[in-house]
Amino acid sequence: MGSVTSAKAIPGAMDINEALPLVPEDITAAWCSKVLGKKVKLAVIAKEYQGTASKLIVNLAYEGDNPGPSSICVKGGFNPDLLAKMPMIKFVLRREAEFYYYVAPLVDLRLPKPYFCTTDTVNGQGIVVMEDLSADSEFGSPMKPWAVDTVRANVEQLAKLHAGTWNPDESKFPWLTGSDDLSANPYKSMILALLSPAAFADRFGEGSRPPMPDKLNDRERVVAAFRTLWHDTSAGQSRFRCIIHGDPHLANTYIRGEGDGNGEPGFLDWQGLCFGHPFHDLAYFMIGALTIADRRAHEKMLVQHYLNTLNACGVVPKLQLDEVWDEYRKLVFHGFAWATVGKGLQPEEYIFAMAERHCTAIVDHGTLELLESLPGHGTH
């Protein structure tokens, strides 16, 4: 298994003043030789996956008797038209490369083996070269909720990430800090855009509204609740702070090996990395990954397992379920973002399935009412 541990640095070159590849055709045998440190005689792009980031599966042939991997995944910004329309995407491309280079060596996580990560100052490109998981892994889907034991195993991964960066000295991560919302809290920027009056009306109009209770079909009430949540969980207001994945839903996961229940799960797609509240990751992942029935039956057990893992990793003071439960209940609200996802940004069946799970949890936990009861609600 390609696993990254705290004992191993990741090969890479950050903030170089040389332009990195910008189109698939730039991923040549010569470039692959450079980043892999082996003589590649042939590099053939076998598959292209276009999204916020482009993922290229590249088949390789080598000279000599010391070959490297037969295929690699090269992830970066290789869609010039999209980058021209949405230049902010470069930020998230860089963020994933920065995760692998700066954070992955600090924490003991199951990750695809990274061969090289790099960013440039010429075009703002960010590229990660990693192992091709397609041969022995299954990628997560919102349409296929996980078994409780598989979710439990990935909850441990979140706890290890959070424990390794608990109450961090943020000055040691200058690339992760910023005064603007995009760099400081990418999730907040996305949600505010999706909650604009026009976007809200389009998403929640007749015939296009995801499954949700009527009380959440109130834009002003929802925006006020989010602003209260962000204030209450911000730096200086909350005692819970660490580096978080930011977007740990099922489509950003994989299971290596024997499949659900027997394989080893992990997280992918680290573009949303930021400083934040650890229970954002925990609630967002668990609620979206389980059926509603399984979540209701096992939620407290899974939160307790998360806390046990944190405590075993040395987080102090040790956290108890009863003292953090309301914190968890508050962070459940972030999952409402799935209901706001605009048409065409994700498959509608993904949006509807995830919105139902998250909105049901918001009702089950009384999260909206809890946020509205906090001091200063409506003034942030």
pLDDT on residue 178: 64
Give tens-digit pLDDT for 43-55.
999 999 987 789 9
Q: Which 3 state secondary structure label does DSSP give 343? A: strand
Q: Which residues pair with 57 in a beta bridge?
A: 47, 73
Tell me how far apart the alpha carbons of residues 118 and 6 are, in angstroms, rounded to a whole number.
Answer: 19
Residues of the chain with pLDDT under 70: 1-7, 178-186, 258-262
Tell me how far apart the alpha carbons of residues 188 and 158 are, in angstroms, rounded to a whole number.
Answer: 20
- Helix ranges (DSSP H) in 233-291: 278-289
Q: Give the DSSP H/E element, type plus range, for residue 285.
A: helix 278-289
pLDDT on residue 1: 36
pLDDT on residue 2: 42
| Residues 276 and 288: beta-carbon distance below 8 Å | no
Q: What is the DSSP letter of 40?
A: E
Burial class for 46, CB neighbours closer than 10 Å (0-12, 13-18, 19+): exposed
pLDDT on residue 5: 41
- Cα dihedral 131, 30, 102, 335, rounded to 10, equals -50
Chain centre distance of CA 124? 20
| Cis, bond preceding 317 (omega within 30 deg of 0) | yes
- Sheet order of strands, 253-256 included: 137-139, 253-256, 264-267
CATH topology (fold) of 137-372: Aminoglycoside 3'-phosphotransferase; Chain: A, domain 2 (3.90.1200)
CA neighbours closer than 13 Å in the CB half-sphere of residue 63: 10
pTM to 2 decimal places = 0.93
What separation in angstroms does the CA of 316 have from each of 144, 245, 283, 287?
A: 36, 21, 21, 26
Query: Which residues belong to CATH 3.90.1200.10 in the chain?
Result: 137-372
> How many residues would you count in the chain?
380
Tell me how far apart the alpha carbons of residues 348 and 211 are, in angstroms, rounded to a whole number.
Answer: 12
**13 backbone dihedrals φ, ψ, rounded to 5°:** -145, 110
Burial class for 145, CB neighbours closer than 10 Å (0-12, 13-18, 19+): buried
**330 backbone dihedrals φ, ψ, rounded to 5°:** -65, -45
- Both tokens of 70, joined, read 């037969």
